[in-house]
Structure 1
Amino acid sequence: MSNYSYSINSDSIQFLEKYLNKFSPTGNENEGQKIWMNHISSYIEKIKTDLYGTAVGIINPNSPYKLILEAHVDEISWYVNYITEEGIIYVSRNGGADPQISPSKRVIIHTEKGLVHGVFGWPAIHTRKPSSEKYPNVENLFVDIGVSSKTEVINMGVHVGCMITYPDKFFIMNQNYFVSRALDNKIGGFIIAEVAKIIIESGINLKFGLYIVNSVQEEVGLKGAKMISKTIQPNVSIVTDVTHDTYSPMIDKKIQGDIKCGLGPVIGYAPSIHKSIRELMINTANRKKIRFQRLVSSSTGTDADAFAYSNKGVLSALISIPLKYMHTTVEMVHKKDVELTVLLIFETLQEINNNINQFFY
């Protein structure tokens, strides 16, 4: 077993809840980012942000060797796209928002005058003809904020370009599952913050600079990671994200892989994943008896791809948390997977520290 014992305590749960409940839609992540930065500032002295809001906490900043440990803070959302004369609001996606889950959901529109509450309306089943059944998509989804004219909408501060988010809150289900919107990928932000904390608490003398990065705009093309990689110019990156629990109904394991919540973190195989870091992580897990899973993809679709192919190339690895119901408001992760991921990253960083010449040159 690992020499270090880690479990999520009540203080960490309070941070996670506060962090998840704050809005951080792609392109406007600052409120969620403030929570994250304020939390890590209690044990990391040096914190920076870039022009678009990616936050970086740095341990041992004077080292010429640089390792990024990364997650992304942004959550999927919507934009106000069109307002009818009758005061009905049509939307445009901001990231991978799923139209199928939207009808009858409550929403919040973010305006300069404050938050405006509304709902995604949908015609009652009695009024829909089976022969012409229409399914939710960005062309027919609409938000109703309880007014009857475009003038009323505008007077409330709503205009084209306002962001729309879901108000759903974090809760714990059956003691084992964390449930919330935006676990993709604020659970990663939580994990990297926890890793940094236990490194400081353990008094580990790092031989490399550790850059704890919470990136913006992952959901629209890995944009924050691309920018910060050029700024930091790391030698190594370890990226956290989420991946699909394929034991959920209607998912084909032959296509999506064999991944289950509660069986440990998922180590990725892909062209962008460098064998040296991946195998070190696997060997560390085996030696420390930390349970893990494996997943193959031709392209990870995560910030690992952005780091791997940036600058002159970066040794990159991906460790993911199994997640149920991605891009919904009831995303679920297992507490044990979160704890094992923190532990595996912590032990891997120590192995890199003990074999620094293999990874920094």
Structure 2
Amino acid sequence: MRNESFEFLSKLVAAPSPSGYEQPAQRVFRSYVEKSAIVTTDVMGNVYGMIEGTGKDRPRVMLVGHSDEIGLQIRYIDDNGFIYFGAIGGVDAHLTPGQRVIVHAGKGDVTGVIGRKPIHLMEPKDRDTVTKLDSQYIDIGAATRQEAEKLVRVGDPITFAAGIERLQGDRVTSRGFDDKAGSFVVAEVLRQVAAAKKKLSVDLYGVSSVQEEVGLRGGTTSSYTVNPDIGICVEVDFATDQPDVEKKHNGDVKIGKGPILPRGANINPVLFDLLASTAEEQKIPVQFTGIPRATGTDANVMQISRGGVATALVKIPLRYMHTPVEVLSLSDLDNAVKLIVAVLSKIKDKSLFIPR
């Protein structure tokens, strides 16, 4: 991965963006893609980068990755300045005690920790019990409610403090790869398409959507706005090359072995075949999974927007999803970009995606 692209990825995952509070990350996305595309933002906070193609009756192609991440939100501050919170998206209560967090308050970021009774003071039966999220609390060091309320207020979003770190090889860890990895790929595709000398035969819309983790909301509204003929959603998927994940349920998926191309009812068969054949032709490594149901991604709502959209998924293998230490391979991101750029050059006629 080129240095400038890694710097963009680092800034994107560092920017806080719990669902409903995505604009710090969206500002990073906008700043990066405005050099390559015509950029607009809607009332939901979805960001669109558009590159006009050439020719008559051009298909509209929409790429989408969601910028929002899981997080927390202040619900209550007690008399001693301890902060009680709720989950934004699917937060695992097993993992939160002992985490350092950042409250993104109006007056600036405030550091805190999610406290817990020391193990020495626990009854034996409580040591194996998961404390519910609504019983956990954040300590920002305030001694009273009044002191805490000078710094934060009810409704402020909270993220885990973890940032991007390099592991061995091209593997990296961070919070928020679900699904800023997707927004990253969308931005990189726009950059590469704009840099190419030959215009595409499609109008290309690259979207960084919002509020996916709380109901696919930005994907729903952005699909309606763009009204695409063809759509590719870029998401993350469960890697099964860690010791405690069952391959029989999720397929054989490894990080570093290429992006994933799912098949199933959510996926247009012609578009899937085009992605798979292009990967083979270009010698781009890919992996395959089956999803015999709605996918639970923006591809789901894109497919059934208006009169229907020829939809596919390109997914990035990810370990430890919805934790502060998600792990992926940079080569999988690069290969996802390479595959989508190659496929875009082959799309010329929207009628070809009608199953026969």
**Do both share a fold (TM > 0.5)?**
yes
- Give the equivalent residue in structure 1 for 2:216: 222
- Give the equivalent residue in structure 1 for 2:45: 53
Identity %: 34
Match of 1:117 among 105, 111, 116: 111
Letter in 1 for 2:295: T
Structure 2 counterpart SS, 1:69: strand
Q: Distance in 2 between matches of 1:129 and 1:25?
A: 35
Q: Distance in 1 between matches of 2:282 and 2:107?
A: 53
Letter in 1 for 2:11: K
Q: CA deviation at 1:175?
A: 3.1
Does 303-312 or 54-63 show the bigger shift? 54-63
Does structure 2 conserve the Cα–Cα contact (< 8 Å) formed by 1:60 and 1:208?
A: yes
RMSD: 1.7
Q: Is 1:342 matched up with 2:337?
A: yes
- Give the equivalent residue in structure 1 for 2:309: 314
Q: Distance in 2 between matches of 1:344 and 1:50?
A: 28
Match of 1:330 among 318, 325, 328: 325
Q: Is 1:14 matched up with 2:7?
A: yes
TM-score (norm 1): 0.93
Structure 2 counterpart SS, 1:101: coil
**1:225-236 residue pairs with structure 2 within 5 A?**
225-236=219-230
Q: What do the CA deviations read for 1:149-176 (whole angstroms, capped 9, x no partner)?
A: 22222122x2221111122111221231
Q: Distance in 2 between matches of 1:61 and 1:153?
A: 53
Runs of 4+ in 1 over 6 A off after TM superposition: none
- Give the equivalent residue in structure 1 for 2:174: 180
Q: CA deviation at 1:105?
A: 0.9
- Give the equivalent residue in structure 2 for 1:140: 135
Unpaired segments of 5 or more residues in structure 1? Answer: 1-7
Q: Distance in 2 between matches of 1:11 and 1:337?
A: 17
Does structure 2 conserve the Cα–Cα contact (< 8 Å) formed by 1:27 and 1:217?
A: yes
Unpaired segments of 5 or more residues in structure 2? Answer: none
**1:134-213 residue pairs with structure 2 within 5 A?**
134-156=129-151, 158-213=152-207
Q: CA deviation at 1:73?
A: 0.5
- Give the equivalent residue in structure 1 for 2:282: 288
Aligned residues: 351
Q: What do the CA deviations read for 1:47-78 (whole angstroms, capped 9, x no partner)?
A: 11110110000000786521101111111110
Q: Distance in 1 between matches of 2:12 and 2:106?
A: 22
Q: CA deviation at 1:127?
A: 0.9
Q: Distance in 1 between matches of 2:102 and 2:125?
A: 34
Q: Distance in 2 between matches of 1:212 and 1:17?
A: 20
Q: Is 1:305 matched up with 2:300?
A: yes
Does structure 1 conserve the Cα–Cα contact (< 8 Å) formed by 2:102 and 2:109?
A: yes
Q: Distance in 2 between matches of 1:356 and 1:79?
A: 43
Structure 2 counterpart SS, 1:352: coil
Q: Distance in 2 between matches of 1:40 and 1:324?
A: 28
Structure 1 counterpart SS, 2:300: helix
Structure 1 counterpart SS, 2:213: helix
Q: What do the CA deviations read for 1:270-299 (whole angstroms, capped 9, x no partner)?
A: 211111111111111122222111112222
- Give the equivalent residue in structure 1 for 2:352: 358
Q: CA deviation at 1:359?
A: 3.8
**1:85-100 residue pairs with structure 2 within 5 A?**
85-100=79-94
Q: Distance in 1 between matches of 2:179 and 2:323?
A: 12
Q: What do the CA deviations read for 1:82-128 (whole angstroms, capped 9, x no partner)?
A: 22222221110111122221111111112222222110001111111
Q: CA deviation at 1:343?
A: 1.1
- Give the equivalent residue in structure 2 for 1:268: 262
**1:249-264 residue pairs with structure 2 within 5 A?**
249-264=243-258
